[in-house]
Chains A and B, each alone.
Chain A
Amino acid sequence: MITRNKAGIDLAIMGVLVVCLLLGFSSISFAETDVTDKVQFERSMMNFDRRTSTNYFDAWYTNISGEIFLSPIKAVIASISEPSMSVANADGYTSEGKPYFEYALSSGRLLSDENTDSKQWIFANPERRRFSYTVAVFADLEQAAPPVSIYEYDAMGRIERVIGKSGENIVYEIEYEYDHIGNRITHRVTTAQ
C-alpha cells in the first residue's frame, strides 16, 4: 500500500516536472539586456502591397555603443498604434505575446559601429491606416574579460612595470623607479580612460 502511494507521488512529481519543462520551452523568456538606447534603427522606404494590404520595409540596426552585442539581437514590437494592425512575419513571440524580429549575426557578435543585416518587417494593415510603433531591442552583452596583470622586470629582477589588461584594453599601468641601492622610490600609475 505504501509502495503504491510512493509510486503515485513519484508519478505526480514527474508529471509536474514535465509540465514545467513544456512551459519553459513554449515561450521565449528574455534574459537579454535592453539595448534600445545603444542601437540606431534604420530602414528603407516604407512600401505598400495592395493585394495583401501590408506595409513593409527593410530594417537594420547599428551598434552605436562601445559595447559588444552577442547574437541574436531581438527587436520586440512593443506596441502598434492601430488596433486593427499586426506584425505579419514575426520570427517569434515573447512570453507576453509581443512579436519580435530576430537578427542573427554571422560572426556571432556586433561590434561598435557595425550593422546587422537587413530584415523585412511586414505589418498587416487591413484598413490601410496610418500607424506608429514602438520597438525595444534586446541582446546579450559580451562580458568584459577579467583583468590580467602583466609584470615586466628590469635586468636586476626588480619589477619595472605592471600592466593591467582586460582583453585587449589596457586598464592601468604602473611604472616603478629605484634608487642606486635598490629601494623603490616612486611609482607612477596611469589609468586608462
Chain B
Amino acid sequence: MKSVLTVFLVCVACLLPVNAAVSAPLDLSTFTADPGVTESGGVVGFEEDFIYTAWYFYDDNFLVGDDASILSFDYDFQLGPSDADDFLRFDFNFTPELVVDTNITGGSFEFDLSPYRGTEVSLAWGLIWNGDSEAGTSASVYNIDLTTSSIPIPEPSTIVLFGSGLIWFFGYGRKKLF
C-alpha cells in the first residue's frame, strides 16, 4: 500500500505547476522609425547623417502583456571616422536605461518589464549626435526578445509516467491490495 501511494504522489508532483519562461522575438510592427532608421527582420539599424541630431526607433504606447517579464536585446555601435562622442541609448519611459558611447562597440542588455504588466509604456532606441561636425556613426539593435512566463503544460514524459502509475494502480496494485 505504501509503495502504491508513493508512486501516486510522485506522479502528482510531476504535474504540479512550474513557471516556464518562453522567449520570443518582440513584435516591432507597432514601432515607428525616424528618418535614418531602418528595421528589417528584427534588426534595427541607425545611421548618422549631417542633417539631424537624433534618430529614434520607438513605441510610446507599448502595451506590456500580462505575462511579460524580460526585454532583452543585443547591440553593435561603431563611431564614424574622426567622429567622437555620439552615443546609442535605450530609453524606458523617456529615461535612459542604457547609454553606449565611445569605448563600447557592442553588448547585450536586459530590462525587466514585469512591474509594468498591463500598462502602456514608452520603449525607444536612439542614436544621438553629440555636437561635433562629423557623421558616419552607425549602430544596430537585434535579437530583441521578450520573455514571458507561460502557463505550464505537462511534458509528454510526465504524462507517460503519470499514466503508467495510474495503470499500475488500477491493475496490478488494485489486485494485490484488494
Q: Contact residues of A with B, CB < 8 Å?
A: 45-51, 55, 57, 125, 128-132
Q: Is the CB of A45 within 8 A of B53?
A: no
Can you list 8 pairs linking A and B with CB atoms under 8 Å apart?
Answer: A45-B87, A45-B130, A49-B94, A50-B58, A50-B126, A55-B53, A130-B51, A132-B133
Which B residues between 83 and 138 are near A, CB-CB below 8 angstroms? Answer: 85, 87, 91, 94, 101, 124, 126, 128-131, 133
Q: With a CB–CB cut-off of 8 A, which chain B residues contact A48?
A: 53-54, 126, 128-129
Q: Is the CB of A128 within 8 A of B130?
A: no
Residue in B51, B94, B126, B129 whose CB lies within 8 Å of A51: B94
Question: How close is A35's CB to chain B, nearest CB, in angstroms?
Answer: 23
A130 vs B124: C-alpha distance in the bound complex, in angstroms? 21
A136 vs B105: C-alpha distance in the bound complex, in angstroms? 38
Chain B residues within 8 Å of chain A by Cβ, number: 19
Known contacts A50-B94, A50-B124, A55-B53: A130-B87 contact under CB 8 Å: no
Question: How close is B134's CB to chain A, nearest CB, in angstroms?
Answer: 11
Which residue of B has the minimal Cβ distance to A49? B94
Q: Is the CB of A47 within 8 A of B52?
A: no
Which residue of B has the minimal Cβ distance to A123? B53
A47 vs B85: C-alpha distance in the bound complex, in angstroms? 11
A143 vs B52: C-alpha distance in the bound complex, in angstroms? 46
Q: Is the CB of B56 within 8 A of A50?
A: yes
Beyond the given pairs A45-B85, A45-B101, A48-B53, 13 more chain A to chain B contacts, judged by CB atoms under 8 angstroms and listed by A's residue number, are A46-B128, A47-B128, A48-B128, A50-B58, A50-B91, A50-B126, A55-B131, A57-B131, A125-B53, A128-B52, A129-B52, A130-B51, A130-B129
Question: How close is A162's CB to chain B, nearest CB, in angstroms?
Answer: 55
